[in-house]
């Protein structure tokens, strides 16, 4: 059961981060990445395609309470797949942190958003704390 809980947590984190980084979700109910970093554009090209694939794959793996269930994936979930998911998501997340830091550094000190600079929460030179 612990193994399943760890996998569920991993897929929930992958799904949440990719949803946020790719501007998915319900804009009227969710925090939207553009609310934090108006200039953000998610990865184009192959990495962006993989992130969309990871969102789909992670969405199929998490528990759902609903009338319909997603179809099981034909793609096997291997350790290598999970490592690639982790690496891709963290690559884009780290780019977001770097761009956010640069954006915040350009704000006037009296701008309300500049308070997000306090501490090292967005310092891309430090470890981000994510262990996906």
Does 124 map to a domain?
no
Does 129 map to a domain?
no
Does 26 map to a domain?
yes
Question: Judging by beta carbons within 10 Å of its beta carbon (0-12, 13-18, 19+), is residue 17 exposed, middle or buried?
Answer: buried
The pTM of this model reads: 0.75
Count H helices, E strands: the chain? Answer: 4, 0
Does 112 map to a domain?
yes
Cα separation, 82 vs 61, in Å, equals 12
What are the pLDDT digits (tens) for 53-104? 999 888 888 876 655 555 565 677 889 999 999 999 999 999 998 998 888 8
Full residue range of the structural domain in which residue 55 is found:
2-62+71-117
Total domains in the fold of the chain: 1
Does 128 map to a domain?
no
Cα separation, 93 vs 63, in Å, equals 24
């Amino acid at each position: 059961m612990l193994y399943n809980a760890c996998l569920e947590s991993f897929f929930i984190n992958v799904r949440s981060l990719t949803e946020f980084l790719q501007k998915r979700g319900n804009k009227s109910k969710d925090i939207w990445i553009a609310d934090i970093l108006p200039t953000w554009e998610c990865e184009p090209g192959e990495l962006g395609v993989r992130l969309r694939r990871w969102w789909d794959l992670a969405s199929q793996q998490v528990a759902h309470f609903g009338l319909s269930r997603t179809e099981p994936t034909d793609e096997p979930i291997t350790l290598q797949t999970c490592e690639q998911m982790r690496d891709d998501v963290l690559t884009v997340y780290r780019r977001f942190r770097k761009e956010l830091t640069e954006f915040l550094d350009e704000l006037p000190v009296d701008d309300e958003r500049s308070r997000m600079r306090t501490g090292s929460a967005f310092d891309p030179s430090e470890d981000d704390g994510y262990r996906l």
